[in-house]
Amino acid sequence: MDVHQAIRERYSVRSYLPDPIPEDKLMRVMEAARLAPSAKNRQPWKFVLVTEQQKRDALAGFARNPFVSEAPVCIVAVCTEKDWMLSSGVHAYAVDVAIAIDHITLAAVAEGLGTCWIGDFDQQPARELLKIPDEHIIVELLPIGYPADVPGDKKRKDLREIICWETFS
């Protein structure tokens, strides 16, 4: 699938079929995360693939979103170097891990799967559930599975609103 088509077709899937994801399909999606760029190529990430129903239910509770446990897999994207700063003053980890997650969401579309970024969740209980050390941070939860809903309209700002040339305006 062409990358532009994947970008157009991706949407936040908030209802999933219970069908399991074949492992080779899931691994092709995760390979897209592995190949993502990161500052100084530090690859400061680890992805916990959660399939057990009880754990998915608990994550859905921490996210206050029942659909999170409908998906057969919840990818928990963990940053393993959260204090690292770019010389620009920007925290590298949120950028690095977000790129990897975005690769996952687009590769998922190419595999006929859907995802939804979940940034609204309780960090500490999720970390305890998955035995993630305190020095690491969960950046996002990402349920992944076969969509059971249909995309709505893409509501986005006009291109003219978000670009300017030469100076900020």
- The Cα–Cα gap between 35 and 40 comes to 14
CA distance 154 to 90: 29
Q: Is 66 a residue that touches ligand FMN (CB under 6 A)?
A: no
Q: What is the side-by-side strand order in the sheet with 114-115?
A: 45-50, 73-79, 137-145, 114-115
8 Å CB contact between 94 and 85 = no
The DSSP secondary-structure symbol of 27 reads H
Shortest distance, position 12 Cβ to ligand FMN, whole Å: 4
Q: Where does this chain touch ligand FMN (CB under 6 A) — which range of 28-36, 38-46, 78-86, 114-122?
A: 114-122
**Shortest distance in whole angstroms from residue 167 CB to ligand FMN:** 28
Which DSSP letter does residue 66 get? T
Instruction: Check binding of 45 to ligand FMN (CB under 6 A).
Output: no
154 belongs to the binding site for ligand FMN (CB under 6 A)? yes
Q: Is 4 in the site for ligand FMN (CB under 6 A)?
A: no
- Using CB under 6 A as the binding rule, whether residue 119 contacts ligand FMN is answered as yes
- Name the site residues for ligand FMN (rule: CB under 6 A): 11-12, 65, 116-120, 154
